Structure formats: structure tokens, C-alpha cells
């Protein structure tokens, strides 16, 4: 593929764009600045809520003149333009009945469950150490409510079960059996189970975005490290896995970086395929 063919760069955040301290390193920032200057649209594609991705977009000045960008949040549940007005370009919400059903399931399993509002992360168990990891990653406050199912009277793109990694396989299996054919459940880390609408994935929302832009998958490069990145890496014209990616993710990639997320793996890919 000619380098000039890549018009959109989709980047997972945690374990990909940011290092383990959740920072963008200078070399990676310089590579993204150069790609933006060439007219490439940067899409921050994350499982985080929109509010948890927004500070990264602001740090990169996405949406400023000459710096086209978008936020793909909730693993593809929503895409928001970073430009003026922050237009919602795509969204898919959980069926309303799933909110109390998921809360009931979490209570039966004695695990924490969270969702989001415009201020932060909403949960009945803000002291849960695994839930607090979501707060740390997103740099959002934990908001305690007495009854999460009753509190959520607005559309949500996803809910997140947080739990001890030792319990995850059992709880995920039970959830898959209970909610089969209703929603999608999958593990996005050793201590998180994502609950999203059926069919929500990064590739599907990226396809919708490319269609709006009059582009195709051949114009897309996607970089990631986690299992929830496989669909966009498989879909992209150039799919890139970080050196620190899980084995099945690397198997989907056209290119695996020699450097991990702590050593400018994204910069390596951008320099090779775009600059």
C-alpha cells in the first residue's frame, strides 16, 4: 500500500498510544503531529467512556484547525467528532432493560458493576479496588449511588463488571449463559468484563465513520494491543499490533512493532506507514 493511501489512523489508548503511566511519549507525539500535518484524521479508539478519552484528545489538540480527530469510545458504542460542537457521529445504546438485569447479575455474583454519566463513573461500590482501576485509567471521579439500576434513567453505551481476576472466567461464563443473544459480554482486561449492545465493536463503528468520510478500509491504519482491538486490526487496510500485544492480536495484524507501548511502538508504525 502507498503511504499516501492512509487517511485515517485509529489508535487504541491503554497499552498502545499511552505508556504504562498513561502518558504519550515525545517521539510518539511528534509522529502524530506530523501525521496530522499531512491531513490524516486521528481517531482515539478506546473502551473508555467518552469523558475518559476527551483529555487525551485535548492534549493532542484534536479538533483544532488542521488537526482532524474523533473519539471512538465504549469499544465502538459511540463516535464523537473533536471539532466544534462535538457532534455525535455514531452511537448504539444498551437496551434499557439490560441495566437492571446486569445490576441484578452483578449482585448475585457479588461483584462490582459501573457505568458512566457526564461527571464520572457511577457505582454502588466506589471502594472496590478493581472499580477504582477504571477511575485511575480514565482520570474520572467515582460517584457512589445507593441503587444503580434506579439511578440510570438515561441511555448508556456500556456497563462494566469489575472483579478479582481469579473470578473472571467463572463470572464471564455465567454471564454469557444468562445474556446469550441479548448483549455482548467479553473480557477487556484480567479484571474487567464489558457489557455492550450486540454487535458493537471497533471495526463496525470505524466502518460507519469511513463511510461518512467517503473513504474505505484501505484508507485506514489501526493500532492496538488488546483482544477488543482485533476487529479493527483485522478490518484496517494496515492493521498494526504492538510488541506487547496478546498473541491472538498479533495473529490478526499485518505488522507487529518491534517496540512496545513504553518504547514508542505507535511512533514506529506511523513513521513506517504514514510519514
Q: DSSP string spanning 40-64? A: PEEEEE-SS-HHHHHHHHHHTTTTS
Q: Are residues 77 and 125 in the same domain?
A: no
Q: Are residues 153 and 173 in the same domain?
A: yes
Q: What is the mean pLDDT of residues 209-228?
A: 96
Say how many domains are in the chain: 2
pLDDT digits (tens, 9 = 90+) for 236-274: 999 999 999 989 999 999 999 999 999 999 999 999 999
Q: What is the mean pLDDT of residues 80-109?
A: 95
Q: Are residues 241 and 260 in the same domain?
A: yes
* Rounded percentage of the chain residues whose pLDDT exceeds 70: 99
Residue where a domain stops, chosen among 137, 168, 197: 197
> Per-residue pLDDT for 48 more than 80?
yes
Cα angle 32, 36, 38; round to 5: 120
Q: Are residues 132 and 216 in the same domain?
A: no
Domain span at residue 14?
3-92+200-273
Q: What is the mean pLDDT of residues 135-154?
A: 95
Phi, psi of 221, rounded to the nearest 5 degrees: -115, 135
Q: Are residues 69 and 102 in the same domain?
A: no
What is the per-residue pLDDT for 139?
87
* CATH code for the domain in which residue 178 is found: 3.30.1240.10
Residue where a domain stops, chosen among 197, 223, 258: 197
Q: What is the mean pLDDT of residues 147-165?
A: 97
pLDDT digits (tens, 9 = 90+) for 168-193: 999 999 999 999 999 999 888 889 99
Mean pLDDT of the chain: 95
Please say whether the beta carbons of 201 and 45 come within 8 A: no
What is the per-residue pLDDT for 118?
87
Please say whether the beta carbons of 44 and 271 come within 8 A: no
What is the per-residue pLDDT for 31?
98
Q: Are residues 227 and 136 in the same domain?
A: no
Q: Are residues 80 and 204 in the same domain?
A: yes
Residue where a domain stops, chosen among 155, 176, 197: 197
Q: Are residues 206 and 118 in the same domain?
A: no
Read off the pLDDT band of 208 (50, 70, 90): very high
Q: Are residues 74 and 208 in the same domain?
A: yes
Read off the pLDDT band of 137 (50, 70, 90): confident
> Per-residue pLDDT for 79 more than 50?
yes
Q: Are residues 61 and 108 in the same domain?
A: no
Read off the pLDDT band of 1 (50, 70, 90): very low
* CATH code for the domain in which residue 68 is found: 3.40.50.1000
Q: Are residues 66 and 23 in the same domain?
A: yes
Distance (Å, whole) CA 12 – CA 222: 8
Q: Are residues 85 and 204 in the same domain?
A: yes
- How is residue 228 written as a grid cell? 477488543
pLDDT digits (tens, 9 = 90+) for 3-24: 569 999 999 999 999 999 999 9
Give the max Cα distance, the chain.
55
Amino acid at each position: 500500500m502507498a503511504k499516501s493511501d492512509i487517511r485515517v489512523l485509529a489508535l487504541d489508548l491503554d497499552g498502545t498510544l499511552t505508556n504504562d503511566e498513561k502518558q504519550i511519549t515525545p517521539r510518539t507525539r511528534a509522529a502524530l503531529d506530523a501525521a496530522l500535518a499531512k491531513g490524516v484524521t486521528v481517531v482515539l479508539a478506546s473502551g473508555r467512556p467518552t469523558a475518559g478519552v476527551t483529555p487525551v484528545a485535548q492534549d493532542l489538540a484534536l479538533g483544532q484547525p488542521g488537526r482532524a480527530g474523533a473519539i471512538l469510545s465504549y469499544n465502538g458504542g459511540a463516535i464523537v467528532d473533536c471539532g466544534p460542537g462535538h457532534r455525535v457521529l455514531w452511537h448504539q445504546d444498551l437496551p434499557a432493560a439490560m441495566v437492571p438485569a446486569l445490576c441484578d447479575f452483578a449482585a448475585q455474583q457479588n461483584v462490582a458493576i459501573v457505568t458512566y454519566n457526564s461527571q464520572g463513573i457511577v457505582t454502588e461500590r466506589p471502594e472496590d479496588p478493581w472499580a477504582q482501576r477504571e477511575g485511575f485509567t480514565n482520570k474520572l471521579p467515582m460517584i457512589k449511588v445507593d441503587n444503580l439500576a434506579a439511578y440510570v434513567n438515561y441511555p448508556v453505551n456500556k456497563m462494566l463488571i469489575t472483579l478479582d481476576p481469579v473470578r473472571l472466567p467463572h463470572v464471564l461464563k455465567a454471564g454469557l449463559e444468562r445474556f446469550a443473544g441479548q448483549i455482548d459480554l467479553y473480557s477487556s482486561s484480567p479484571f474487567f468484563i464489558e457489557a455492550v449492545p450486540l454487535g458493537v465493536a471497533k471495526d463496525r463503528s470505524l466502518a460507519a465513520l469511513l463511510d461518512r468520510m467517503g473513504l474505505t478500509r484501505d484508507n485506514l491504519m489501526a493500532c492496538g494491543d488488546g483482544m477488543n482491538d482485533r476487529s479493527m486490526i483485522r478490518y484496517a487496510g494496515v492493521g498494526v499490533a504492538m510488541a506487547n500485544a496478546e498473541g491472538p492480536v498479533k495473529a490478526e495484524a499485518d505488522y507487529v512493532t518491534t517496540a512496545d507501548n513504553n518504547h514508542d511502538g505507535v511512533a514506529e508504525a506511523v513513521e513506517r506507514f504514514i510519514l
